[in-house]
């Protein structure tokens, strides 16, 4: 799964929530395969979000109606250890055949069925 400028699209209204806290709605689209360990996304002001980027990331939320677009996969945002917004990762999980807790999607799993998944990034 790759998220690049072409597959990470700003959507809706970006806004400030006070004290410099920003909320930025984004639409994600998967590429043909996923890389175990997550996909690095550049959420900095120099990256995919441009002027709407962050100096410190906080969280990612799935949009209300977008859950159907994940085809049963669960997305999670893993912020960088240093809180650098240019190096956070989006991870993908699935139920798996064993029925246990969610497992991370295996490397090279085809993820092209993910289309127009709406998320919001919140940060400073």
pLDDT 10s digits, 68-116:
566 778 888 888 877 788 888 888 888 766 667 888 888 888 777 777 7
Classify residue 2: in a domain, yes or no: no
Classify residue 117: in a domain, yes or no: yes
Q: Give the domain extent around 49.
A: 8-123
Q: Which pTM was predicted?
A: 0.74
pLDDT bin (cut points 50, 70, 90) of residue 9 is low
**Residue 28 phi, psi dihedral angles, 5° rounding:** -110, 145
What pLDDT, in 10s, does the model give residues 52-81?
788 876 788 876 554 556 677 888 888 887
Q: Which two tokens stand for residue 31?
A: 């590429």
Q: What's the CATH code of the domain at 12?
A: 2.60.40
18 has a pLDDT exceeding 60: yes
Number of domains in the chain: 1
10 Å CB burial of residue 37 (0-12, 13-18, 19+) is exposed
Torsion of CA 56, 80, 52, 35, to 10 degrees: -170
Alpha-helical segments (H) within 3-108: none
Classify residue 46: in a domain, yes or no: yes
11 near 96, Cβ under 8 Å?
no
Classify residue 58: in a domain, yes or no: yes
């Amino acid at each position: 799964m790759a998220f690049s400028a072409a597959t990470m699209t700003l959507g809706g209204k970006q806004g400030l929530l006070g004290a410099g806290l920003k909320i930025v709605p984004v639409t994600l689209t998967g590429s043909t395969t996923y890389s175990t360990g997550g996909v690095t996304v550049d959420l900095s002001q120099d990256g995919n979000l441009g002027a709407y980027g962050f100096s410190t990331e906080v969280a990612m939320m799935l949009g209300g109606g977008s859950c159907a677009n994940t085809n049963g996969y669960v997305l999670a945002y893993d912020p960088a250890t240093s809180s650098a917004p240019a190096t956070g990762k989006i991870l993908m999980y699935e139920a798996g055949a064993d029925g246990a807790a969610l497992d991370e999607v295996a490397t090279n799993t085809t993820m092209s069925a993910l289309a127009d998944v709406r998320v919001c990034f919140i940060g400073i």
